[in-house]
Amino acid sequence: MNKFSILIIEDEKNICDFISKTLTSHGYRVNCATTGKEALSLASSLCPDIFLLDLGLPDMDGMEVIYQIRRWSGRPIIVVSARTQETDKVRALDAGADDYLTKPFGTSELMARIRASLRHSNRLNNDHGLPLHPYRAKELKIDFFKRTITIKGEPVHLTPIEYKIVAFLAQNSGKVMTYSAVMNNVWGPYAESDNKILRVNMANIRRKLETNPAEPVYIFTEVGVGYRMADDEDNL
């Protein structure tokens, strides 16, 4: 049984009750908050393993809750919101949220997102911030120490920039990484806001990694938001 603790921050009682019952039945410890103020108080006292956050709270915008939590905690935050605009998703992810689920959503998808966020949060890192084991998904393997990428055991030749993009996404596998997050990591904080150079590099990467770039199995596009790398199968 999982004993991870989850704080649900949701002001609609029926939704909160439904999610709470679902998570409890899967072995999670659950607490609920209906306001931003209550959420921040419980967050500091309970230090939950993961947060499920609705942006539309009665006393403050959920974005402020993300900012406040990120001042002291690196635990995963999954936004669960009825806001469907790409700008809302990008703002939440750039503010520090790890994932974004749009209401209504399926129970299976919610549980999968929680598992992915917890896997990433609890992944063992070395002093250099790199995972201690290679990334594996289907026939793709990335060795972060040797800086090599292979498919079916055959080397894939990427440019240094292309490798940095793929390695960054792989180290955050299962999470949506916004365009700006990728660009800041690869080109630095003063990178141009236009993501054309990123899209050009991604097109080249897909030609090298994917059997059919139009139907990717390794790197998925969240339209208008960013990219998500397939889960690391060693952490499933």
Of 81-85, 91-95, 147-151, 196-200, the range with the lowest mean pLDDT is: 81-85
- Domain spanning 5-121 has what CATH number? 3.40.50.2300
Q: Which two tokens stand for residue 152?
A: 């079916």
Cα(17)–Cα(12) distance, integer angstroms: 9
CATH (one of 1.20.1600.10, 1.10.10.10, 3.40.980.10, 3.30.160.20) for 135-235: 1.10.10.10
State pLDDT tens for residues 80-136.
988 888 899 999 999 999 999 998 889 999 999 998 888 776 553 344 454 558 899
- Locate 225 and state its tokens: 């938001």
The pTM of this model reads 0.67
CA quadruple 224, 197, 135, 112: dihedral, nearest 10: 0
- Which residues make up the CATH 3.40.50.2300 domain(s) of the chain? 5-121
The ranges of the chain annotated as CATH 1.10.10.10 are 135-235
Give the integer Cα–Cα distance in Å for 9 and 32.
Answer: 6
The DSSP line for 13-54 is HHHHHHHHHHHHHTT-EEEEESSHHHHHHHHHHH--SEEEE-
Q: How far is CA 53 from the centre of its chain?
A: 14
